[in-house]
Amino acid sequence: VFLHGSGAEGRWASNFLAAAFARRGFAALAYDKRGVGKSGGNWQGAGFEELASDAAAAVAALSAKPYVASGKVGIHGHSQGGLLAPLVARLGHPAFVIASAGSGLSMRETETYSVENSLGVQRLPQIEAQEARAFVSALMDVAYGGQPYAHAVAAWQKVQARPWAFGLPPETHAYWTFSRKIAAYDVLAQWRQVAAPTLLVFGEGDERVPPRPSAARIAEAYLGGPGTSFQVRFFPGADHTFRLHPDPGGAFAWPRTAPGYPDALIRWAADTVGLAPEAGRGSTRRFREPLQR
């Protein structure tokens, strides 16, 4: 079962991995997030508990299918899905967990890392870097710390002339309400309760989630609980989506998938559930069955 990343993500977002797993003999389930595609509801009004309960229901739905091996349904979550993975594991009791580019930091720390990298803070002159960090900190004060919107507006007015400064989302934008809803989420507390075999995967060039600090914190949490098997895989140079980008100063070339991805994920999952090598000629036929909650 493929968990969603952030934003309005539908089943299309997992097509690449779902097809790759299906060719290896897995039944792959990707579904529309609340309020996206053919799903009802509104993901912007939901918190992590609600989104995780949807994923746990998907695990139960797939597990009930007669063509699916009993007790062998696992989950894959990328980005925000990687954050949700341990909570889904607690609610849905999957056979295995793959958390891809999932943060092991607090929500505020993770978003700070992401926004500072999007502004290119590390490449700015010292004075501008200090200004940018103060601006981002003010945004986090509002999004995750409960400060009024005016606090962010005041910070933006100080830097609005800088080329890296971006306009604020309107006060009514879902970014603020959703951020406040998930601000207290403790991902490490969730990992301490996961017993299922777990694989973490990160791109070492990820600018949205800090790879090695996240891996270290999650490992400590998982290994301090009832966990049974734990592995971490890093893909050198890969970004948040496990893509390698050409040298900006070199000849034009398209980004490419990091070597070994997604094969490493599929091999690990197959080994974990005991999928025989001859099962590797699975069908990619798509089932469009309604899933009932």
Average pLDDT (111-132) is 97
- The predicted structure's pLDDT at residue 170: 97
Q: How far apart are CA 55 and CA 38, in angstroms?
A: 16
Cα(144)–Cα(186) distance, rounded to whole angstroms?
Answer: 13
What Cα–Cα distance (Å) separates residue 81 from each residue in 67, 103, 180, 225, 235? 26, 10, 18, 21, 19
Of 292, 240, 281, 254, whose CA–CA distance to 26 is shortest?
Answer: 281
State residue 272 phi and psi, 5-degree precision.
-65, -40
- What does DSSP assign to residue 183? T
Band of pLDDT at residue 285, cut at 50, 70 and 90:
low
pLDDT tens digit string along 96-110? 999 999 999 999 999
Pairing of strands 243-244, 230-235: unpaired
CA distance 214 to 191: 12
Q: Do the beta carbons of residue 208 and residue 79 sit within 8 Å?
A: yes
The model's pLDDT over 150-161, given as tens digits with 9 standing for 90+, comes to: 999 999 999 999
Residue 289 has pLDDT above 70, yes or no: no
Asked if 256 and 10 count as a contact pair (C-beta separation under 8 A), the reply is no
pTM: 0.92
DSSP secondary structure string, 40-51?
A: -S-GGG--HHHH
Which phi and psi angles does 181 have, rounded to 5°?
-65, -35
**pLDDT at 8 (0 to 100):** 87
Contact (Cβ atoms closer than 8 angstroms) between residue 43 and residue 8: yes
What does the alpha-carbon distance between residue 198 and residue 222 come to, in Å, rounded to a whole number?
A: 9
Cα–Cα distance for residue pair 111/134, rounded to 1 Å: 14
